[in-house]
Amino acid sequence: MIEAHDNIQTMLRTNTKIPNFTDPLGETLHFLRLTGTLYSRAELTAPWGIELPPFDGCMMFHVVTAGHCWLEVVGDEPRLLQQGSLALVPHGNGHCIRRNPEDETVPLFDIPVEQVSDRYEIMRYGGNGELTQLTCGVVRFDHVAGQQLIALLPKVLQIDSWADDEGSWLQSTLRFIAHEARELRPGGETVITHLADILIIQAIRSWIDSAPEAERGWLAALRDNHVGKALAAIHREPEKDWTLASLAKEVGMSRSGFSARFTNLVGESAMRYLTQWRMQLARAQLQETSDSLSVLADRLGYQSEAAFCRAFKRVFGVPPGSVRHTATP
């Protein structure tokens, strides 16, 4: 499992282009693509407890397919997860899961596992008591748009019951995951991982539809008829020579009206947002590719490498070369 965990970082790649959708929020959700994934089917018999370390830049999730357990994240109240519950720990915080609140925990990497494939493993652990079955995973989103959305999520996102129009399908999906986990027929790990991906994205969609936090800031701006279109244009073509006037024209507003509306909804000016967005893309690509600074400068709409480097240092306080990681071939 440690080797698989190490491989998470080397599997990541960044794509700067977003397909042209009519719904700006839909474009963002389109890029909730999970990469660098590691999944586990856990068969745990009471008493048991597991301490999971932080996974920087990743999200962890637990789907309870049988029994129950407690989830404990620092700064959040302990949560009881029943059969059918889905819990996301969006920011990669270390946390504990255990059958009962008094059960002692063991570090995750001290528990032996059966490696089924590069991305899937089976864990059997605990005493001789009642069984809890979980499908768990460590995932990461491969685009800045997805990462920015994840940054808005709470410490824990728990869903125990789904909306009526979705409930039967999602409960069927959970049952299907549980069935595949028990049988693990040829290709079963692939089925489970894809179904788990869908459940995670659906959970985030459910949070967006119901959480008060989603009614303000960046998510609210994406829903706005005018500002949402401007954000989508920036996301889709960050290299374009955007100006305040050209963005206003793109969305059919006056320059002054657009400027005020954008700043009011997003919390910063359109030009500052554009620069920040380009630099977030640049930092991701510096860490995940071996492309030269001149290539990145051109790709992100800068006329020279020097101009790109100045912009990068203004945003992050360090030159781009200082965040360069060696890309994996």
Report d(CA 42, CA 123) in Å as an integer.
Answer: 5
Domain at 2-214, CATH from 2.60.120.280, 3.10.180.10, 3.40.190.10, 2.60.40.10:
2.60.120.280
Which candidate, 121, 154, 125, places its Cα nearest to that of 135? 121
Question: Residues 104, 87: contact at Cβ < 8 Å?
Answer: no
Which candidate, 38, 85, 88, 36, places its Cα nearest to that of 61? 88
103 phi and psi angles, rounded to 5 deg? -70, 135
Report d(CA 315, CA 20) in Å as an integer.
Answer: 28
- Please say if the pLDDT value at position 206 is more than 60: yes
Report d(CA 170, CA 160) in Å as an integer.
Answer: 11
The pTM for the full model equals 0.72
Cis-peptide, bond into residue 47, ω within 30° of zero: yes
- Please say if the pLDDT value at position 7 is more than 50: no
Q: What average pLDDT does the segment 22-45 reach?
A: 74
Which candidate, 242, 315, 307, 302, places its Cα nearest to that of 276? 315
Helical residues (DSSP H) of the chain, grouped into ranges: 2-10, 24-30, 144-150, 164-183, 188-210, 217-223, 227-236, 244-251, 255-266, 270-288, 293-299, 305-316
Model pLDDT, residue 161 = 66
User: Which architecture does CATH list for 217-323?
Assistant: Orthogonal Bundle (1.10)
108 phi and psi angles, rounded to 5 deg? -50, -45
Question: Residues 323, 286: contact at Cβ < 8 Å?
Answer: yes
Could you read off the pLDDT of 238-292 as tens digits, one per residue?
999 999 999 999 999 999 999 999 999 999 999 999 999 999 899 888 988 888 9
Q: What average pLDDT does the segment 105-120 reach?
A: 89
Question: Residues 135, 179: contact at Cβ < 8 Å?
Answer: no
pLDDT tier at 77 (50, 70, 90 boundaries)?
A: very high
Report d(CA 25, CA 227) in Å as an integer.
Answer: 11
- Please say if the pLDDT value at position 14 is more than 50: no
**Is the dihedral angle over the CA atoms 98, 101, 105, 108 positive or is it negative?**
positive
Model pLDDT, residue 212 = 82
Look at 79-93, 128-142, 202-216 and tell me which has the smallest mean pLDDT. 202-216
Which candidate, 294, 298, 300, places its Cα nearest to that of 282? 300
Q: Show the tokens assigned to 208.
A: 């967006």
Concatenate the DSSP letters of all residues of 126-171 into one string: E-SS-EEEEEEEEEEE-SHHHHHHHTTS-S-EEESS--HHHHHHHH
Beta carbons within 8 Å of 272's beta carbon, 6+ residues apart: none
- Please say if the pLDDT value at position 5 is more than 60: no
Report d(CA 26, CA 36) in Å as an integer.
Answer: 23
- Please say if the pLDDT value at position 168 is more than 70: no
- Please say if the pLDDT value at position 126 is more than 90: yes
Domain boundaries, the chain: 2-214, 217-323
Look at 33-37, 70-74, 234-238, 251-255 and tell me which has the smallest mean pLDDT. 33-37
Say what percent of the chain tops pLDDT 70: 82
pLDDT tier at 142 (50, 70, 90 boundaries)?
A: low
Beta carbons within 8 Å of 319's beta carbon, 6+ residues apart: 309, 312, 313
- Please say if the pLDDT value at position 27 is more than 60: yes
Model pLDDT, residue 252 = 95
Model pLDDT, residue 148 = 79
Which candidate, 92, 38, 263, places its Cα nearest to that of 248? 263
Question: Residues 273, 259: contact at Cβ < 8 Å?
Answer: no
Model pLDDT, residue 22 = 59
